[in-house]
Amino acid sequence: MKADEASLGQLAALAQRGDRAAYAAFLREAQLWLRRYFVRRVGAEFLDDLVQETLLSIHAKLSSYDPHRPLLPWLAAIARYRWVDQLRRIYRAQEDALSEELPCEDDEPEIAARISLDRLFSYLPEGQVRAIELVKIEGLSVTEAAAASGQSESLVKVNIHRGLKKLATLIEKA
Amino acid sequence: MIRNPDPLIDSLISQLAPVRPMRLSTGLGRTALSLAAAIGLVVAMLGLRGDATPLVLLSSGLFLVLGAAASVTVIMMGRPRVGSEHSGWLWAAAMAALLPATTLLMGLIHGPTAWAESDPATGMACLAMGLLFGLATASVLVAWLRRGAPTSPARAGLITGIAAGSFGIFAFSFHCPSNDLYHIGVWHSLSVIVAAVIGRVIVPRLIRW
């Protein structure tokens, strides 16, 4: 069963008061939500690490959630920060298969659209998106990405650099 | 439903301790206290200035508003959420920038002699005092950001510096005896700018994720 946002928020509020049962339920639901959130925008081999890093950040920054406000925008802000941080660290991964195991359905399409990772990419020029997708997500080398995208190698590097810099500024804004 | 055990989640659950949510009112209260403490220190240690001209009141008001807007932004940045712009402080900064802009314009109109009353040594002292008394606000906001989850640490550092510099020079204005446009427009504004640069460089290194 998938918990709705209000229930998740209540679980997080109880966790802030030290309720371990609520925290366990919250973390498990958050883990599932994060896997769905990241699955199309991260290489399959990096998905588990990214979910775990985000769960660690949620644990460390639990007090930054205001229980009077919706939970998903908070969760998504932390997830986006971790995602951009990982994109900056990943380079030249070899496997390019994207996982299709997990469905990406969501019960709240408006919120999902607002907080999605795809929305972040919509603020970037196509060339930057393509370079980041090919090198940082699909794991191609710069040379392979240049051949696949029709960009020069130096342009691929510049597009990745500029694109990641721009993504970092859009984490909450976009 | 039986779930597969997850060592990470089990570990996080075992480490859970109650935490107090970072409420906006708490952040605002602490920042206001830091400003009150800085003003109290200025008055107690250096004494209150004798008079206050309209220029002093107006410039101090601009720094107070800029400090407040920047502080609110930093407090909000500690509690991230998708959909937050964090851009309200820019309007206050634009208003406060009218002060040095006007000073430069008047300096250009009246020529080099207009700057004669603005003694650089006195100006440097004011700049340093603004930074010193801004430390109270800076320490409160940095502690807030370290506990929070700012998704743009560099920007948070810059705005923290602006908040601290603005409140610091506002507090020192209670003592600074100058009524001179060139002194206030240049050196008091510089205190904010230097604090912003320091915040941009240092604060991101103090933020932990």
Q: What is the pLDDT of residues B181-192, one digit of tens each?
A: 999 999 999 999
Q: Any idea how long chain A is?
A: 174
| Encoded tokens for A102 | 């997990």
Compute CA distances B74 → A14, A73, A123, B31, B155, whole Å.
26, 18, 24, 10, 9
Establish if A106 belongs to a structural domain: no
Give the pLDDT confidence score for residue A113 in this predicted structure.
Answer: 61
* Nearest CA distance, A72 vs chain B (angstrom): 8
Closest residue in A to B82 (Cα) is A172
Domain count, chain A: 2
Query: How far apart (Å, rounded) are the C-alpha atoms in residues A35 and A29?
Result: 10
Structure-derived torsion over alpha carbons of residues A157, A162, A163, A167, reported in degrees to the nearest 10: 140
The minimal CB distance from A31 to the residues B9, B16, B20 is found for B9
Chain A residues in contact with B15 (beta carbon < 8 A): 59
Establish if A107 belongs to a structural domain: no
Question: CB atoms < 10 A from the CB of A94, how many?
Answer: 10
Establish if A118 belongs to a structural domain: no
Query: What is the count of residue pairs from A and B with beta carbons less than 8 Å apart?
Result: 113
A6 & A88 share domain: yes
A130 & A83 share domain: no
Residue-averaged pLDDT of chain B: 93
pLDDT, mean of residues A75-95: 78
Boundary of a domain, candidates A92, A115, A135: A92
Flag whether the pTM goes above 0.90.
Answer: no
Are B132 and B155 in contact by the 8 Å Cβ rule? The answer is no
Question: CB atoms < 10 A from the CB of B171, how many?
Answer: 30
ipTM of the prediction: 0.84
Whether A63 and B19 lie within 8 Å, measured CB to CB: yes
A1 & A83 share domain: yes
Give the pLDDT confidence score for residue A105 in this predicted structure.
Answer: 47
- A145 lies in which domain range? 123-174
Give the pLDDT confidence score for residue B4 in this predicted structure.
Answer: 54
Query: How far apart (Å, rounded) are the C-alpha atoms in residues A27 and A8?
Result: 9
A81 & A131 share domain: no
Whether B82 and A114 lie within 8 Å, measured CB to CB: yes
Picking from B194, B189, B200, B204, the residue whose alpha carbon sits closest to that of residue B93 is: B189
- Within the 62-121 window of chain B, which residues sit less than 8 Å (CB to CB) from chain A? 78-86
pLDDT at B96 over 50: yes
A41 & A127 share domain: no
The minimal CB distance from A52 to the residues B8, B24, B208 is found for B8
pLDDT, mean of residues A79-106: 62
Which range in A11-25, A27-41, A95-109, A111-125 is most confidently predicted, on average pLDDT?
A11-25
Establish if A108 belongs to a structural domain: no
Q: What percent of chain A has pLDDT over 90?
A: 44
Least confident range from A51-65, A104-118, B9-23: namely: A104-118
* pLDDT per residue as tens digits for the range B105-156: 998 898 877 777 678 888 999 999 999 999 999 999 999 999 999 999 999 9
Structure-derived torsion over alpha carbons of residues A107, A112, A114, A116, reported in degrees to the nearest 10: 180
Give the pLDDT confidence score for residue A2 in this predicted structure.
Answer: 58
